[in-house]
Amino acid sequence: MMNPSLRIYLFVLLSLFFAASAVPTVAQIKPGRDPNQAIDQDYTNKIREYTTAPYFNSPLTDYLPASPNVPTPKAVLGDVAGAPGKLPYAEDVYKYMRMLERATPRVKVYSIGTTEEGREMIAVAVASEKLLEKLEENRARLTKLADPRTINMDDAEADRLVAASFPVYYITGTIHSPETGAPTALMELAYRLAVDDSSYVKFIRDNVVTLITPVVEVDGRNRMVDVYNWHLAHPNENWPWLVYWGHYVAHDNNRDAIGLSLKLTRNVLNTYLAWKPQVLHDLHESVPYLYDNTIGDGPYNAWVDPILTDEWQMIGWNNVSEMTKFGMPGVFAHGNFDTWSPGYLMFMAATHNGISRLYETFGNGGADTLDRTLSPSEYERTWYKQNPPLPKAKWSQRNNNNYEQTALLTSLYYFGNNSKLFLKNFYLKSKRSVDKPKNEGPAAYVLPGDESRVGNQAELVRTLQAQGVEISRATAPFTVAVKAKRAATPTPSASPAASPSASPAASPARRKDTEDRTFPAGSYIVRMDQPYSRIADALLDYQYWAPNDPQTAIYDDTAWTMGELANVEVVRVVDTRVLQAQMDRVTAEVRSSGGIGNTGSVYVVNHNADNNLVTLRYRLKDVEMEAAEEPFEAAGRKFNRGSFIIRRASETDLRNIANELGIQVYAVADAPSVKTHPVRAPRIAIMHTWLSTQDEGWYRIGFDQLQVPFAYISTQDVAKEPNLKSKYDVVVFAPVSRSPLNIINGLPMYGNPIPWKNTSLTPNLGRIDETDDMRPGLGWSGLQNLIKFVKDGGLFITVDDTTDFAVQLGFTAGVTLTRSTRLRAVGDILRTKTVDAASPIAYGYGDSLAMYCSNGPIFGVNNGVGGGGRRPGGTQRSTGRGTPEDPDVPQGRPMPEIPEPPPRAEAWQAPPVTEEQRRNAIGLIPPALRPRVVLRYADSRDLFVSGLLDGGDEIAQRPAVVDVPSGNGHVLLFSTNPFWRGQTKGSYMLVFNAIMNWDNLNAGRKLDEK
């Protein structure tokens, strides 16, 4: 046996030896070309020609090494990467990557899926042939490091794996289509990594696998190239703006890492999960000249491992430092990007034990070389920008490509140089994720087995499964301690007048009140002792953004709590006994169970606000269905208001679809005796403008996912169709982020027409919709047509800023709308209360739905047009004699009789009609046409659910969802947004209820007597 001190001595010696051999003399490697390797002189000349100033280049990219057998990007582009006037389609980028693959064993191309429009996505691996040969055995090691349970959490074994492994660094380009530089930069980067024999690049190639998805938003890239080519073909004309990027959404494709609605998100996530890379690095363009915003600013996401936030600092500062030494201006980190939301594409790495990174580089929205003048805020020196961008400079796409490649090469080099550290960190982060229950907690999240919305519950669990999260299901009931119900919490302030700002309590409850709760068998358990516990924790937990947080430039949503937004119960369990519950790992994709129970010729389906009910309705669109206007009992069960009653249907069809959709149908002998009305599958149009399609895309994707068919029309189509009602029953007008007049006027008609059409020059435009000229808006005729559509009996659905359109342009008698002045509800989740549960819009919902709200409009309702009807004043008396409780007494006459004050109206109610109004009731709205408030915002103290809420009293108690009858039709107003980023699936049914009951929205309505 060895002497212990000798053993330690030998260990230290060996460690030193291995440390030294793992990183051989790298400190001496100087960035720049190998003088012994020939350069491609033509290519190099062009690089220098297209770079607008020497300091916009670096020793890493101011030349291109020559290769006798490997083609340069010029083979496909006809010029160098970043050349003016050259913007390749995705297919051309792929063609080049595959040429590389054929020419060198150092490049491999993988197909990683297709887009919504069927275009391919790829990932390109570049490394030395030695590393690429060992890719599979390395993947096996990385998979073990990523799941330390497989090596029994054995740190020594992890060290052996780390010593044998090499890291994978995953780079993704051009998710944002107007940010055009990355594809050519990444083509050239792949070439350099494969060909360049300089010590610097060779070191990267020998130590890191660089994985590249050169185009993330493939559909949008090809449209952008079309637009740019149109611009080149019409040099003196205005050119189309990129109104569509991807098939559904634009900039928000980089907010989908929560809901995973888009194929590009799923494809990159699946690649990430399969390759186990240590970094996911996404390339963007906005600010000059290179902003490494990974470090960004606070608040940081509260669920990531502190090891990761340190890694951000290390890599980010190295990046700035190296490029500063190259003398490249405008390279900085920090800035004002907060790293709170987990919705960004690159953040998938942060929530899955990797490292998320992001660059903003500078671009011209195409490949033109332009003189760019910056604003002082962009070029002034600040503490984190010591070598700021130049106030004025000529900027080219080549400059952009120099910056992107230089920054990536320095990152790859640094990463390779510290690969063992980062691989060990990768293991440690994974291990700490598995250790979560015994460290910070929680132990698990439980989705109870007695959930009433089983369809939405299954949908939420499927999203977690797609995130790579392991799901278990209890096979027996179990009891654990959970947080006690909130009722016991005292309110911080009794007097609302004393605290003008209704905000969540400033400090968390001191008392650690818990109570035991028994969950039934069948409950889903998301154990936190798994490698991907962090993503589940981040998505299922609540968010709290303090109103006094120093960060006031809030970058994005402050809340995303998935259980609340899905309207299903999710219970955070700290009690580690939950891990001992009897349970099985769920291996298949989770589905709610469906079918037909009992026997009989009449079928009933409980309305539980599950989204698959609308799919059922449309899949069986020729089958007559009715909605019960009151709750009833049948087949020994309780059925909610709105439940479907189907008197005639093919049992086989119904059974098959119920099975497929996971809907439980009950057969009964006789239809229940309850008042009903038809539930329809009406003709829907989703109306878009040519100004912006960003937010309505989330409506289209929601409708498509649930197989709800719709016509897709533009405001220009509406302008041309005087009889809209002959074509559609429902028109949905999702938020546009434009003013009502903007929607009507469109854009100024100066200059040339601006087409958005499928032509041989622009083969990727059109498809979704097209026009000869994008400029004209709805116009006044379109407005008339829409008003007539409603009068003719149509349903017009408006949300957030399109409610401004409906209210200001006279669609909604009796509704007032103001915009908040103090409220700060920045992409957060607020509680609503059901005011009128008999409205078909509320079918299936309980009393308190949490909804997404982003400073929504503040509604008021009245029984008169033009703000008629005064809200009764407060309780304070006027100036005069006596105490505050006494009446005033006019002097020198007897005291008159004081009439009873009018009944008090709540903030969500119309003030009662007075005798004065009725005397000549010109502006008085007939009772049947008065606004009907379906949901309101909760009281101040109950309003906050998740995120940032400040000044909440401004919107507390105000109407949130209002149904306004008009002529024979209805206008529906949402202050909240029921379709947001694929995250708000719990509120979709408010819209679908309105649609399915579009011609019976007055059901259950109690009319005012006068």
Q: Which is nearer to Zn ion, 250 or 634 (CB)?
A: 250
281 near Zn ion (CB under 5 A): no
Q: Which is nearer to Zn ion, 176 or 775 (CB)?
A: 176
Min dist. Cβ of residue 795 to Zn ion (A): 37
- Tokens matching residue 159: 């060290």
Among candidates 343, 376, 339, which has minimal Cα distance to 551? 339
**Site residue total, Zn ion (CB under 5 A):** 3
119 near Zn ion (CB under 5 A): no
From the number of C-beta atoms within 10 Å of its C-beta (0-12, 13-18, 19+), residue 275 rates as buried
d(CA 673, CA 633): 10
Mark 184-203 with x for binding to Zn ion (rule: CB under 5 A) and - for no binding: --------------------
Min dist. Cβ of residue 697 to Zn ion (A): 16
Q: Which is nearer to Zn ion, 51 or 180 (CB)?
A: 180
Q: What is the DSSP string of 566-618?
A: HT---EEE--GGGGGS-EEE--SPP----EEES--SEEEE-----THHHHHHH
Q: Which is nearer to Zn ion, 338 or 575 (CB)?
A: 338
Q: Which is nearer to Zn ion, 337 or 445 (CB)?
A: 337
Distances (CA, A) of 405 to 91, 247, 320, 408: 21, 29, 14, 5
Compute CA 467 distance to the chain's CA centroid, rounded to the nearest angstrom. 14
Q: Which is nearer to Zn ion, 179 or 828 (CB)?
A: 179
Of the candidate spans 284-292, 480-488, 619-627, 999-1007, the one that interacts with Zn ion by CB under 5 A turns out to be 284-292
Min dist. Cβ of residue 251 to Zn ion (A): 7
Among candidates 131, 133, 75, 78, which has minimal Cα distance to 100? 75
Distances (CA, A) of 855 to 827, 913, 950: 8, 30, 10
**Residue 113 DSSP SS3:** strand
Min dist. Cβ of residue 176 to Zn ion (A): 3
Q: Which is nearer to Zn ion, 217 or 537 (CB)?
A: 217
d(CA 861, CA 911): 8
Of the candidate spans 113-121, 276-284, 306-314, 556-564, the one that interacts with Zn ion by CB under 5 A turns out to be 276-284
Q: Which is nearer to Zn ion, 147 or 179 (CB)?
A: 179
Min dist. Cβ of residue 179 to Zn ion (A): 5
From the number of C-beta atoms within 10 Å of its C-beta (0-12, 13-18, 19+), residue 599 rates as exposed
Q: Which is nearer to Zn ion, 293 or 353 (CB)?
A: 293
Min dist. Cβ of residue 344 to Zn ion (A): 10
Min dist. Cβ of residue 26 to Zn ion (A): 33
Min dist. Cβ of residue 699 to Zn ion (A): 23
Q: Which is nearer to Zn ion, 178 or 794 (CB)?
A: 178
Q: Which is nearer to Zn ion, 227 or 949 (CB)?
A: 227
176 near Zn ion (CB under 5 A): yes
The residues that bridge with 961 in the sheet, in sequence order, are 935, 974
Choose, by CB under 5 A, the member of 221, 284, 424, 700 that binds Zn ion.
284
Q: Which is nearer to Zn ion, 286 or 465 (CB)?
A: 286
d(CA 151, CA 164): 15
Of the candidate spans 84-92, 175-183, 703-711, 734-742, the one that interacts with Zn ion by CB under 5 A turns out to be 175-183
Task: Tell me which H or E stretch contains 107.
Answer: strand 107-114
**Residue 980 DSSP SS3:** coil
Of the candidate spans 283-291, 625-633, 636-644, 646-654, the one that interacts with Zn ion by CB under 5 A turns out to be 283-291
Min dist. Cβ of residue 284 to Zn ion (A): 3
Compute CA 422 distance to the chain's CA centroid, rounded to the nearest angstrom. 29
Of the candidate spans 170-178, 388-396, 993-1001, 1002-1010, the one that interacts with Zn ion by CB under 5 A turns out to be 170-178
Among candidates 720, 719, 725, 722, which has minimal Cα distance to 792? 725
Restricting to residues 944-963, which ones interact with Zn ion according to CB under 5 A? none
Provide the pairing of β-strand 290-292 with 331-333: parallel
Side chain identity at residue 533, one-letter code:
S
Q: Which is nearer to Zn ion, 176 or 385 (CB)?
A: 176
What is the DSSP secondary structure assignment for residue 628, as one 8-state letter? E
d(CA 859, CA 856): 9
| Look-up of token digits 């309980």 | 846
Q: Cis peptide before 763, with omega less than 30 degrees from 0?
A: no
Min dist. Cβ of residue 362 to Zn ion (A): 12
What is the DSSP secondary structure assignment for residue 925, as one 8-state letter? P
CA atoms within 13 A on the CB side of 712: 19
Restricting to residues 73-92, which ones interact with Zn ion according to CB under 5 A? none
Min dist. Cβ of residue 286 to Zn ion (A): 6
What is the DSSP secondary structure assignment for residue 479, as one 8-state letter? E
Min dist. Cβ of residue 360 to Zn ion (A): 7
Min dist. Cβ of residue 282 to Zn ion (A): 8
Of the candidate spans 172-180, 321-329, 724-732, 835-843, the one that interacts with Zn ion by CB under 5 A turns out to be 172-180
The residues that bridge with 444 in the sheet, in sequence order, are 527, 573
Task: Report the interface residues with Zn ion, using CB under 5 A.
Answer: 176, 179, 284
